[in-house]
A and B are shown apart, each in its own frame.
Chain A
Amino acid sequence: MLGRLAEQYRTSDKAGYVMVLPYILHFLLFTAYPLVFAFVLVFNRWDIVTPMEFIGIRNIQRLLRDATFWTAVINTLRFLASHIPLQIVLSLLIAVILNGPIKLRSFFRGAFFLPFVISGAVVTILWQQLYSTDAGILNLILNRIGMQPVPWLTDPAWAIYSIAIMATWKNMGFYIVLFLAGLQNVPHELYEAASIDGANRSQQFWKITLPLLQPVMLLVVILSTIGGFSLFIEPFVMTGGGPAESTLSVVLYLYKQAFQFLRMGYAATIGFALAIMIFVVTFIQRKLLDTDQPA
């Protein structure tokens, strides 16, 4: 066994070991060590200053009973429930139009993609201004067309949906590009065959295009779910998690526990809960959307 290993080593490309060495070091220091340490922290109370104190599973018990944590989870679900359908409908609609014989296609695509390359910090600072109840131009436009002003970020019933609208705006170009790629993969012959059989445009869309776009749809749902669980800068800048904790996100709560209250063990526990939720939700979505293949 050892002899074979030595023989394999002798005939292997030695440069390979040197070339992967930076990765191994990076992995050990910045992935393996933090992962183990995060696990250790879950069972400890620690404010960084005084020595670590072992407390068993008290962090986990506390998390399960922590109403604020669950508020953050529910906020995330409210965000996703509005953001995902809005994102899919709007970006698919625009992608379908752009996929037709359109002039200036690359100009339009470029315009829609612009917010995606801009820092979330810029986008949230800008939108906070647009959303301002008294001085914002969104309410100014509503006022011009004779509608009541909307308390975008100041009403707990509205605030998380306002953030969902902004996130839809920021990421739409990205999803349009994904849908466009999906649409271009639909074979032309299918449409030709369908129109020979007398299927009209909308029948073609529902019976051919949509089913064939299912893999893209899955990707859109999974990526926006991960994005929803990663919300941080949006509530951090716009609302600080308020009003009445209605926009508190899981990451913002983790950040506050760690850096306002110096509860490192508890913050690490929230981190694990977050990772588990992301895994579970994306796993369920993969199962549901994959097996739901139309005949």
Chain B
Amino acid sequence: MRTLTKALGYILLTVAALTFIYPFLWMASASLKPENEIGTLALISRNFSLRGYSAVFKQIPIGRALFNSGLVSITSTTSVLVFSSMVGYALARLRFLGRDSIFNLVLLTMMIPGQLLLIPMYILVVRLGWTDSYRALIIPAMISNMGIIVFRQFFKSLPQDLVDAARIDGCSDYRILFQIFWPLSKPVLITVGIITFIGSWNEVLWPLIVIRKWNMMTMPQMVTLFHVGGLANAQVAAEMAAAMMLAFPVIVAYLFFQRYFIESLALSGIKG
């Protein structure tokens, strides 16, 4: 009986795992197949070619989109780490007027659904003249409430002796933060970094609204419009190739840092 349930468990897990992995393998395979072989279950074909990929490069500036997405994700992630840790440090370790009100404000604004601010944010970006520019994609994403809360909580747990000793040596709060606290904060830096980077890399609604020029688009936006806008001329291989190029960097990073990804993103759900 025991062995039977155990075997059943393994069979169920294996079938389930296959349903999660197979579609991605199928997508990778379809991006390399000729059109008439795409509607099959086989993952290997004798007629594999890179025609889908060259069609993508011919029809849309996908290289530029990769660059844009990389630039936007890296800049906003770096900025979130710097600014959110700064605010988190001030809220956790410094005494100043209005500190508790600011912390409450952070908690409160986290509850506002992003869609509520979508239209006025778009109008703000138009008024600032930021449409079709990196500013529209980066500046609103430069600080994060979730980051502030995670950093504050972690910094509260570090020993006060560290701060006192550094102060006696004449360290400013900025040096305490970046030269003493940061090296001790690798787990939270990784967590906030991964959540921010993945969120930024995958974001599609905001770029769709503020970017119209093809050479300013991000990857998810361009891949989506390539598919929806009919530019792909219903060539499934080309659509799958474009989707592969969007997913590939994340899949590679995930394969190497799986544990960090899972722990970080699971936390993102709990923290909002």
Contacts and interface: CB of A to CB of B under 8 A. Distances in A.
Interface of A: 5, 8-9, 11-17, 19-20, 22-24, 26-27, 29-31, 33-35, 37-38, 41, 48, 93-94, 97-98, 100, 102, 106-122, 125-127, 129-130, 132, 135-137, 140-141, 169, 172-174, 177-178, 181, 219, 223, 226, 229-230, 232-233, 236-237, 240, 251, 254-255, 258-259, 264, 267-268, 271-272, 274-275, 278
Nearest to A36: B120
A271 B269 contact: no
A106 B261 CA distance: 13
Contact of B97 (A12, A116, A172): A12
Contacts of A135: 38-39
Decide if the interface of chain A is mainly helix, strand, loop or mixed: helix
A118 to B, nearest CB: 5
A121 B115 contact: no
Interface string B6-46: 10011011001101110110110010000000111100000
Interface in B198-215: 198, 201-202, 204-205, 209
A98 B261 CA distance: 19
A226 B39 CA distance: 35
Given A118-B24, A122-B220, 6 more contacts: A12-B97, A97-B9, A102-B13, A108-B17, A125-B227, A258-B119
9 smallest beta-carbon distances between A and B, as pairs: A16-B96, A34-B120, A119-B202, A37-B120, A19-B90, A16-B94, A13-B94, A15-B173, A135-B39
Nearest to A226: B113
A19 B269 contact: no
Contact of A119 (B13, B172, B236, B246): B246
B211 to A, nearest CB: 12
Interface of B: 6, 9-10, 12-13, 16-17, 19-21, 23-24, 26-27, 30, 38-41, 83, 86-87, 89-91, 94-97, 99, 102, 105-106, 109, 112-113, 115-124, 126, 140, 142-143, 148, 172-174, 198, 201-202, 204-205, 209, 219-221, 223-224, 227-228, 236, 239-240, 243, 246-247, 250-251, 254, 258-259, 261-262, 265-266, 269-270
